Amino acid sequence: MIPRIYIPGDSGALALGAEKVAKAIASELAERGIEAKIVRNGSRGAYFLEPMVEVATANGRVAYGPVKPSDVKSLFDCGFLTGGHHKRWLGAPDKIPFLAKQTRLTFARCGVTDPLSLESYKNHGGLNGLTNALKLTPAAIVAQVTESGLRGRGGAGFPTGIKWKTVLDTVGDRKYIVCNADEGDSGTFADRMIMEGDPFVLIEGMTIAGIATGATKGFVYIRSEYPHAVAVMNKAVEVARKAGVLGASVLGSSNAFDMEIRVGAGAYVCGEETALLDSLEGKRGMVRAKPPLPAHKGLFGKPTVINNVISLASVPVIMDKGAPFYKDFGMGRSRGTIPIQIAGNVKYAGLFEAAFGMTLGEIVDDIGGGTATGRPVKAVQVGGPLGAYFPRALFDTPFDYEAFAAKDGLIGHAGIVVFDDTADMLKQARFAMEFCAIESCGKCTPCRIGSTRGVETIDRLAAGIEPEKNLALVTDLCNTMKFGSLCALGGFTPYPVMSSITHFPDDFKPAPVRVAAE
């Protein structure tokens, strides 16, 4: 048997030198005259171990990491092709604590299979969901998804099944499935990982959505900051088309479904669903007023399902194993699993898929291992640039849509950015306003003007000018933005700002006091 070596081609692994490692391994193989197959898999998400190289041995896969190009020679000397011991030896990847503790449903294949091999995808349970869906009526598929309790993983948490039902029930000569892959939130990378590591699961999910709602065309709108994901998705769509997964007859059935990959152009606001639709239509990415809902009048005025990558990628496992299986995981009204992205100043950064319900403290301290700098954790921002900053005092909050909302926060796309005690929360609050000003589409006044006034007011606070008055002004401004903005950009910018003010009041005290306190 020819040995198989897995070297991730995932952007995160590449950013840590996976390409150099791959080259070093290839040249070492050539030099030693060893025949082996190199598979460029996705990442399993344990980025503190990337580049993580795996070999398939008679006793299963054995992982090594983090591998540096300079380790390659000694890896061969230690017989790593048969799982030999080496200082980078990690053993069976499934047994690595960070990975062993996870519940991988959506990300079951990510980092395991060859992303562009449909055969590898099928061998690991791929296409079972679509095959099952093809035996059902559209209404029965929608009922399964509704029953599973799946809610929009993009941030809003709206029940996916209800969205689909609306599109199914709306009459249209043409309907669309749009996948929102404009993952612009800092601290999030789940969409990127799945597109690079298991693109077929997204294609399968979108195809099921098409069959369930009567849509025949899909678009994946990927941000331009993700060139590797764009490349993998384009190749995967080609493979799926050739294999008859996409096209006039999906897996030989009477259903037609095809899709296109589209690339964004660097506007954060296009992650908002209606701005994304405008952008796809070739317009400025301006937010639309709702109603009409995209489900009634979406892309080009046609009934449209618009879902986040992870929502769509979670559908195949639901259709494969059944709604009750998926629904069994989780807590309260948050059912199933969520890929939590642990990022920023944290020791064990990466993607951790788990059932809803872990506390923030467990995620940051136990799984994340505290800060990378070794200093105390001061704050964690959950849910991207529009998410609240939580102090340690709120670390008992369980990861659940409602529990976070009750503490004036949000789960968003489940990214967690950890900050140590050197963070200045006034600076973070100012950045939130500044970011909103840069990225505002400009359609509504609270967001367009409010964000700029917010920056100015926080600057006055920092300078110690009439602190009480300006603090009251920021609070009032946040209230206006929260309730008066058209979309979540202006409407949620108050979360990071107000949470900073509420939980870290010392950082907002006038400069002389702050200096004296230090």
Partner 1 sequence: MTVQPASTEIASRTAAIIQEMRGLEGPLLPILHGIQEEFGHVPQDSLPVIAEALNISRAEVHGVVSFYHDYRRHPAGRHVLKLCQAESCQSMGSDAVAAKIKQLLGIGFHETTRDGSVTLEPVYCLGLCACSPAAMLDGEVIGRLDDEKIEEIVTEVRS
Q: DSSP for 408-434?
A: T---TT-EEEEEETT--HHHHHHHHHH
User: Considering CB under 8 A, how many residues would be counted as binding partner 1?
Assistant: 63
| Tokens coding 342 | 């642990």
**131, amino acid identity:** T
What is the rounded CA–CA span in Å between residue 385 and residue 84? 45
The answer to whether residues 115 and 239 touch, using CB atoms and an 8 Å cutoff, is no
* In the complex, minimum distance from the CB of residue 384 to partner 1, in angstroms, rounded to a whole number: 8
* Region 101-140 residues binding partner 1, contact defined as CB under 8 A: none
Question: Pattern 49-88, binding to partner 1, x per CB under 8 A?
Answer: -x--------------------------------------
Helix, strand, coil percent values for the chain (each to nearest 5): 50, 15, 35
* In the complex, minimum distance from the CB of residue 319 to partner 1, in angstroms, rounded to a whole number: 28
What is the rounded CA–CA span in Å between residue 504 and residue 426? 9
CA quadruple 242, 248, 254, 256: dihedral positive or negative? positive
Shorter beta-carbon distance to partner 1: residue 208 or 267: 267
The answer to whether residues 42 and 8 touch, using CB atoms and an 8 Å cutoff, is yes
Q: Is 97 in the site for partner 1 (CB under 8 A)?
A: no
Cα-based distances in Å from 483 to 119, 355, 430, 479:
50, 32, 20, 6
Shorter beta-carbon distance to partner 1: residue 142 or 229: 229
Question: Pattern 360-379, binding to partner 1, x per CB under 8 A?
Answer: ------------x-------
Shorter beta-carbon distance to partner 1: residue 161 or 285: 285
- Work out which of 73, 95, 283, 469 binds partner 1, going by CB under 8 A: 283
* Region 3-42 residues binding partner 1, contact defined as CB under 8 A: 11-12, 14-16
CB atoms within 10 A of CB 383: 24
Shorter beta-carbon distance to partner 1: residue 45 or 126: 45
R_g (Cα) of the chain, nearest Å: 24
Specify the DSSP class assigned to residue 359.
B
Shorter beta-carbon distance to partner 1: residue 150 or 309: 309
The answer to whether residues 348 and 369 touch, using CB atoms and an 8 Å cutoff, is yes
* Region 223-262 residues binding partner 1, contact defined as CB under 8 A: 224-228, 260, 262
The answer to whether residues 221 and 179 touch, using CB atoms and an 8 Å cutoff, is yes
Q: Which residues of 225-236 are buried (b: 16+ CB within 10 A; e: fewer)?
A: ebeebbebbeeb
Shorter beta-carbon distance to partner 1: residue 104 or 165: 104
Q: Is 460 in the site for partner 1 (CB under 8 A)?
A: no
What is the rounded CA–CA span in Å between residue 272 and residue 415? 17
Shorter beta-carbon distance to partner 1: residue 105 or 340: 340
* In the complex, minimum distance from the CB of residue 101 to partner 1, in angstroms, rounded to a whole number: 17
* Region 399-458 residues binding partner 1, contact defined as CB under 8 A: 415, 417-420, 423, 428, 431, 435, 438-439
Q: Is 350 in the site for partner 1 (CB under 8 A)?
A: yes
Shorter beta-carbon distance to partner 1: residue 73 or 284: 284
- Work out which of 95, 140, 300, 465 binds partner 1, going by CB under 8 A: 300
* In the complex, minimum distance from the CB of residue 10 to partner 1, in angstroms, rounded to a whole number: 10
Residue with tokens 């929102």: 180
Q: Please enumerate in sequence order all residues whose Cβ is within 8 A of that of 76, keeping only pairs 6 or more positions apart, or say none.
A: 28, 32
- Work out which of 88, 151, 163, 192 binds partner 1, going by CB under 8 A: 192
What is the rounded CA–CA span in Å between residue 314 and residue 306? 14
Shorter beta-carbon distance to partner 1: residue 172 or 322: 172
- Angle at 284 (CA atoms; ends 182, 489), nearest 5 degrees: 55
- Work out which of 42, 93, 187, 454 binds partner 1, going by CB under 8 A: 187
What is the rounded CA–CA span in Å between residue 177 and residue 208? 10
* In the complex, minimum distance from the CB of residue 495 to partner 1, in angstroms, rounded to a whole number: 13
Q: Is 180 in the site for partner 1 (CB under 8 A)?
A: no
Q: Is 320 in the site for partner 1 (CB under 8 A)?
A: no
* In the complex, minimum distance from the CB of residue 322 to partner 1, in angstroms, rounded to a whole number: 32
- Work out which of 279, 311, 334, 470 binds partner 1, going by CB under 8 A: 279
Write out the residues near partner 1 by the rule CB under 8 A.
Answer: 11-12, 14-16, 45, 47-48, 50, 183-189, 191-192, 217, 224-228, 260, 262-268, 279-285, 300, 341-345, 349-351, 372, 381, 384-385, 415, 417-420, 423, 428, 431, 435, 438-439
